[in-house]
Amino acid sequence: MDGVSPSVFNSIPNLKQRNGDLKALISVGGWSFNNPGTWQGVFSSLVSTESNRAKFIQNLLGFLSQYGFDGVDFDWDYPGADERGGNGGDTVNYVALLKELRIAVGADAHDYIVTATAPMSYHYLQNFDLAKMASYADWINFGMRPLFEIIYNLTEVGFALDLAWRAGVDPSQIVMGLGLYGRSFKITDGFCSHPGCQFASLGDPGPCTGLSGILSLQEVYDVLDRNGAQPIYDHEAAVNYIVDSSMNWIS
Protein backbone atom coordinates (compact mmCIF):
# COMPACT_ATOMS: atom_id res chain seq x y z
CA MET A 1 0.00 0.00 0.00
CA ASP A 2 1.52 3.31 -1.04
CA GLY A 3 0.65 6.80 0.22
CA VAL A 4 -2.08 7.25 -2.37
CA SER A 5 -4.01 4.12 -1.49
CA PRO A 6 -5.90 5.26 1.66
CA SER A 7 -7.52 8.14 -0.23
CA VAL A 8 -8.60 5.70 -2.93
CA PHE A 9 -10.01 3.28 -0.38
CA ASN A 10 -11.91 6.10 1.31
CA SER A 11 -13.80 6.71 -1.93
CA ILE A 12 -15.47 3.28 -1.82
CA PRO A 13 -18.44 4.40 0.34
CA ASN A 14 -19.07 7.28 -2.09
CA LEU A 15 -19.18 4.89 -5.04
CA LYS A 16 -21.63 2.64 -3.22
CA GLN A 17 -23.88 5.58 -2.41
CA ARG A 18 -24.08 6.37 -6.12
CA ASN A 19 -24.91 2.76 -6.97
CA GLY A 20 -26.69 0.80 -4.26
CA ASP A 21 -26.12 -2.52 -6.06
CA LEU A 22 -22.34 -2.09 -6.26
CA LYS A 23 -20.21 -4.71 -4.50
CA ALA A 24 -16.58 -3.72 -3.98
CA LEU A 25 -13.95 -6.38 -3.25
CA ILE A 26 -10.31 -5.81 -2.40
CA SER A 27 -7.88 -8.11 -4.24
CA VAL A 28 -4.88 -9.35 -2.28
CA GLY A 29 -1.78 -10.39 -4.20
CA GLY A 30 -1.25 -10.22 -7.94
CA TRP A 31 1.58 -11.25 -10.24
CA SER A 32 4.18 -8.71 -9.13
CA PHE A 33 3.58 -9.53 -5.44
CA ASN A 34 5.26 -12.91 -5.99
CA ASN A 35 8.10 -11.63 -8.14
CA PRO A 36 11.59 -12.17 -6.68
CA GLY A 37 12.11 -9.74 -3.84
CA THR A 38 10.93 -8.79 -0.37
CA TRP A 39 7.32 -9.94 -0.74
CA GLN A 40 7.77 -13.20 -2.63
CA GLY A 41 7.47 -15.52 0.36
CA VAL A 42 4.76 -13.56 2.20
CA PHE A 43 1.78 -15.65 1.05
CA SER A 44 3.43 -18.94 1.99
CA SER A 45 4.42 -17.58 5.38
CA LEU A 46 1.00 -16.04 5.96
CA VAL A 47 -0.85 -19.35 5.50
CA SER A 48 1.82 -21.61 7.04
CA THR A 49 0.46 -21.71 10.62
CA GLU A 50 -2.91 -21.39 12.29
CA SER A 51 -1.71 -18.43 14.34
CA ASN A 52 -0.46 -16.60 11.24
CA ARG A 53 -3.77 -17.19 9.48
CA ALA A 54 -5.78 -16.05 12.50
CA LYS A 55 -3.82 -12.80 12.77
CA PHE A 56 -4.24 -12.10 9.06
CA ILE A 57 -7.97 -12.83 9.17
CA GLN A 58 -8.43 -10.51 12.14
CA ASN A 59 -6.60 -7.69 10.33
CA LEU A 60 -8.41 -8.39 7.07
CA LEU A 61 -11.87 -8.18 8.62
CA GLY A 62 -10.91 -4.92 10.31
CA PHE A 63 -9.66 -3.54 6.98
CA LEU A 64 -12.86 -4.52 5.14
CA SER A 65 -14.99 -2.90 7.82
CA GLN A 66 -12.89 0.28 7.99
CA TYR A 67 -13.05 1.01 4.26
CA GLY A 68 -16.49 -0.39 3.45
CA PHE A 69 -15.45 -3.26 1.20
CA ASP A 70 -17.89 -6.10 0.62
CA GLY A 71 -15.33 -8.87 0.44
CA VAL A 72 -11.90 -10.06 -0.61
CA ASP A 73 -10.37 -11.87 -3.56
CA PHE A 74 -7.12 -13.81 -3.18
CA ASP A 75 -4.89 -13.61 -6.25
CA TRP A 76 -1.95 -15.78 -5.23
CA ASP A 77 0.43 -16.22 -8.17
CA TYR A 78 1.15 -19.10 -7.38
CA PRO A 79 0.98 -21.53 -4.43
CA GLY A 80 3.38 -24.45 -4.63
CA ALA A 81 5.43 -22.96 -7.48
CA ASP A 82 9.12 -22.86 -6.53
CA GLU A 83 9.91 -20.15 -9.06
CA ARG A 84 7.15 -17.97 -7.55
CA GLY A 85 8.23 -18.39 -3.93
CA GLY A 86 5.86 -21.27 -3.16
CA ASN A 87 6.43 -24.52 -1.29
CA GLY A 88 4.89 -27.97 -0.90
CA GLY A 89 2.61 -27.02 1.99
CA ASP A 90 0.87 -24.18 0.17
CA THR A 91 -2.01 -26.20 -1.30
CA VAL A 92 -3.28 -27.50 2.04
CA ASN A 93 -2.55 -24.26 3.88
CA TYR A 94 -4.37 -22.16 1.28
CA VAL A 95 -7.52 -24.23 1.78
CA ALA A 96 -7.11 -23.85 5.54
CA LEU A 97 -7.00 -20.06 5.14
CA LEU A 98 -10.23 -20.04 3.12
CA LYS A 99 -11.93 -22.39 5.58
CA GLU A 100 -10.94 -20.37 8.63
CA LEU A 101 -11.88 -17.11 6.92
CA ARG A 102 -15.29 -18.55 6.02
CA ILE A 103 -15.85 -19.48 9.66
CA ALA A 104 -14.78 -16.00 10.79
CA VAL A 105 -17.04 -14.35 8.22
CA GLY A 106 -19.94 -16.46 9.45
CA ALA A 107 -19.38 -15.15 12.96
CA ASP A 108 -19.02 -11.55 11.79
CA ALA A 109 -21.89 -9.10 11.47
CA HIS A 110 -21.04 -8.56 7.80
CA ASP A 111 -21.75 -11.17 5.13
CA TYR A 112 -18.44 -10.69 3.33
CA ILE A 113 -17.79 -12.22 -0.09
CA VAL A 114 -14.75 -14.50 -0.33
CA THR A 115 -13.30 -15.40 -3.73
CA ALA A 116 -10.06 -16.82 -5.13
CA THR A 117 -8.38 -16.41 -8.49
CA ALA A 118 -6.94 -19.43 -10.28
CA PRO A 119 -4.68 -19.67 -13.35
CA MET A 120 -5.44 -21.30 -16.69
CA SER A 121 -2.02 -22.96 -16.96
CA TYR A 122 -1.96 -26.53 -15.63
CA HIS A 123 1.65 -25.99 -14.53
CA TYR A 124 0.30 -23.66 -11.84
CA LEU A 125 -3.27 -24.92 -11.51
CA GLN A 126 -2.15 -28.36 -10.31
CA ASN A 127 -1.34 -26.82 -6.92
CA PHE A 128 -4.89 -25.50 -6.42
CA ASP A 129 -7.33 -27.84 -4.64
CA LEU A 130 -10.31 -26.49 -6.58
CA ALA A 131 -12.91 -28.78 -4.98
CA LYS A 132 -12.07 -27.75 -1.41
CA MET A 133 -11.49 -24.11 -2.34
CA ALA A 134 -14.93 -23.96 -3.95
CA SER A 135 -16.52 -25.29 -0.77
CA TYR A 136 -15.34 -22.21 1.14
CA ALA A 137 -15.24 -19.54 -1.59
CA ASP A 138 -18.30 -17.88 -3.07
CA TRP A 139 -16.76 -18.28 -6.50
CA ILE A 140 -13.44 -18.88 -8.27
CA ASN A 141 -12.12 -16.43 -10.83
CA PHE A 142 -10.21 -17.83 -13.79
CA GLY A 143 -7.84 -15.24 -15.25
CA MET A 144 -8.00 -15.25 -19.04
CA ARG A 145 -5.14 -12.82 -19.41
CA PRO A 146 -2.99 -12.71 -21.40
CA LEU A 147 -3.75 -15.40 -23.95
CA PHE A 148 -1.06 -14.17 -26.35
CA GLU A 149 1.73 -15.23 -24.00
CA ILE A 150 3.27 -18.66 -24.21
CA ILE A 151 2.07 -19.71 -20.74
CA TYR A 152 -1.57 -19.63 -21.87
CA ASN A 153 -3.43 -20.73 -24.95
CA LEU A 154 -7.02 -21.56 -25.83
CA THR A 155 -6.40 -25.29 -25.40
CA GLU A 156 -5.30 -24.74 -21.81
CA VAL A 157 -8.49 -22.78 -21.13
CA GLY A 158 -10.42 -25.95 -21.97
CA PHE A 159 -8.11 -28.12 -19.87
CA ALA A 160 -8.42 -25.79 -16.88
CA LEU A 161 -12.20 -25.77 -16.98
CA ASP A 162 -12.26 -29.54 -17.46
CA LEU A 163 -10.22 -29.90 -14.26
CA ALA A 164 -12.78 -27.75 -12.47
CA TRP A 165 -15.68 -29.86 -13.74
CA ARG A 166 -13.93 -33.12 -12.81
CA ALA A 167 -13.25 -31.72 -9.33
CA GLY A 168 -16.99 -31.21 -8.94
CA VAL A 169 -16.94 -27.43 -8.98
CA ASP A 170 -20.39 -26.05 -9.82
CA PRO A 171 -20.26 -24.01 -13.06
CA SER A 172 -22.19 -21.27 -11.24
CA GLN A 173 -19.08 -20.78 -9.07
CA ILE A 174 -16.78 -20.08 -12.02
CA VAL A 175 -16.18 -16.52 -13.21
CA MET A 176 -14.12 -15.88 -16.34
CA GLY A 177 -12.01 -12.74 -16.00
CA LEU A 178 -10.89 -10.53 -18.87
CA GLY A 179 -8.19 -7.88 -18.59
CA LEU A 180 -9.47 -4.29 -18.70
CA TYR A 181 -6.35 -2.97 -20.39
CA GLY A 182 -4.62 -2.91 -23.75
CA ARG A 183 -1.36 -4.30 -25.11
CA SER A 184 0.77 -2.16 -27.40
CA PHE A 185 3.66 -2.65 -29.81
CA LYS A 186 5.78 -0.34 -31.95
CA ILE A 187 5.21 -1.29 -35.56
CA THR A 188 8.01 -0.86 -38.12
CA ASP A 189 5.89 0.11 -41.11
CA GLY A 190 2.93 2.46 -40.91
CA PHE A 191 1.52 0.89 -44.05
CA CYS A 192 1.51 -2.57 -42.48
CA SER A 193 -0.55 -2.43 -39.31
CA HIS A 194 -2.81 -5.47 -39.52
CA PRO A 195 -2.22 -8.51 -37.27
CA GLY A 196 0.85 -10.38 -38.45
CA CYS A 197 2.89 -7.30 -39.35
CA GLN A 198 6.35 -6.85 -37.88
CA PHE A 199 6.93 -4.84 -34.73
CA ALA A 200 10.16 -3.41 -33.33
CA SER A 201 9.47 -3.24 -29.59
CA LEU A 202 6.82 -2.88 -26.93
CA GLY A 203 4.69 0.24 -27.21
CA ASP A 204 5.30 3.52 -25.39
CA PRO A 205 4.41 3.52 -21.68
CA GLY A 206 1.27 5.35 -20.64
CA PRO A 207 1.44 8.41 -18.38
CA CYS A 208 -0.36 6.62 -15.54
CA THR A 209 0.71 2.96 -15.74
CA GLY A 210 4.27 3.79 -16.82
CA LEU A 211 4.72 0.31 -18.33
CA SER A 212 5.98 -0.31 -21.86
CA GLY A 213 3.53 -2.40 -23.84
CA ILE A 214 0.58 -1.96 -21.45
CA LEU A 215 -2.08 0.74 -21.38
CA SER A 216 -4.98 1.07 -18.97
CA LEU A 217 -8.46 1.43 -20.42
CA GLN A 218 -8.44 5.16 -19.65
CA GLU A 219 -5.08 5.54 -21.38
CA VAL A 220 -6.52 3.83 -24.46
CA TYR A 221 -9.43 6.28 -24.38
CA ASP A 222 -6.93 9.14 -24.09
CA VAL A 223 -5.11 7.91 -27.20
CA LEU A 224 -8.40 7.88 -29.09
CA ASP A 225 -9.23 11.42 -27.96
CA ARG A 226 -5.75 12.84 -28.50
CA ASN A 227 -4.83 11.21 -31.80
CA GLY A 228 -8.23 10.82 -33.38
CA ALA A 229 -7.27 7.23 -34.14
CA GLN A 230 -10.06 5.14 -35.60
CA PRO A 231 -10.55 1.61 -34.26
CA ILE A 232 -10.21 -1.17 -36.83
CA TYR A 233 -12.25 -4.32 -36.29
CA ASP A 234 -10.53 -7.68 -36.75
CA HIS A 235 -13.31 -10.11 -37.65
CA GLU A 236 -11.22 -13.23 -37.05
CA ALA A 237 -10.13 -12.23 -33.54
CA ALA A 238 -13.39 -10.33 -32.83
CA VAL A 239 -11.52 -7.37 -31.33
CA ASN A 240 -10.69 -3.78 -32.22
CA TYR A 241 -7.18 -2.39 -32.62
CA ILE A 242 -5.84 1.11 -33.25
CA VAL A 243 -2.60 2.66 -34.49
CA ASP A 244 -1.69 6.06 -33.07
CA SER A 245 0.46 8.82 -34.56
CA SER A 246 3.58 7.44 -32.81
CA MET A 247 3.30 4.05 -34.53
CA ASN A 248 1.94 2.32 -31.43
CA TRP A 249 -0.28 -0.61 -32.32
CA ILE A 250 -2.80 -1.03 -29.49
CA SER A 251 -5.43 -3.70 -28.84
Q: Which helix (H) or strand (E) holds 58?
A: helix 50-67
**E strands, the chain, in order:** 25-29, 71-75, 113-118, 139-143, 174-177, 181-187, 199-202, 214-216, 232-234, 239-243, 248-250
Which of 177, 205, 229 corresponds to the end of one domain? 177
Q: Which of 139, 143, 131, 138 is nearest to 169 (CA)?
A: 131
**Contact yes or no for 222/229 (Cβ under 8 A):** no
Which of 177, 197, 226 corresponds to the end of one domain? 177
pLDDT of residue 56: 98
| pLDDT bracket for residue 144 (50, 70, 90) | low
Indicate whether 54 and 72 sit together in one domain.
yes
**CATH of residue 86:** 3.20.20.80
Q: Over 70: is that where the pLDDT of 154 sits?
A: no
Report, as an integer, the average pLDDT of 100-109.
Answer: 94
Tell me the pLDDT tens digit for each residue of 20-75. 899 999 999 988 888 888 889 999 999 999 999 999 999 999 999 999 999 999 99
Provide the whole-model pTM. Answer: 0.78
Q: Over 90: is that where the pLDDT of 163 sits?
A: no
Strands 214-216, 181-187: pairing kind: antiparallel
Report, as an integer, the average pLDDT of 94-120.
Answer: 95
Indicate whether 211 and 163 sit together in one domain.
no
pLDDT of residue 60: 98
Report, as an integer, the average pLDDT of 106-133.
Answer: 92
**Contact yes or no for 181/217 (Cβ under 8 A):** yes
Which of 152, 177, 202 corresponds to the end of one domain? 177
pLDDT of residue 161: 86
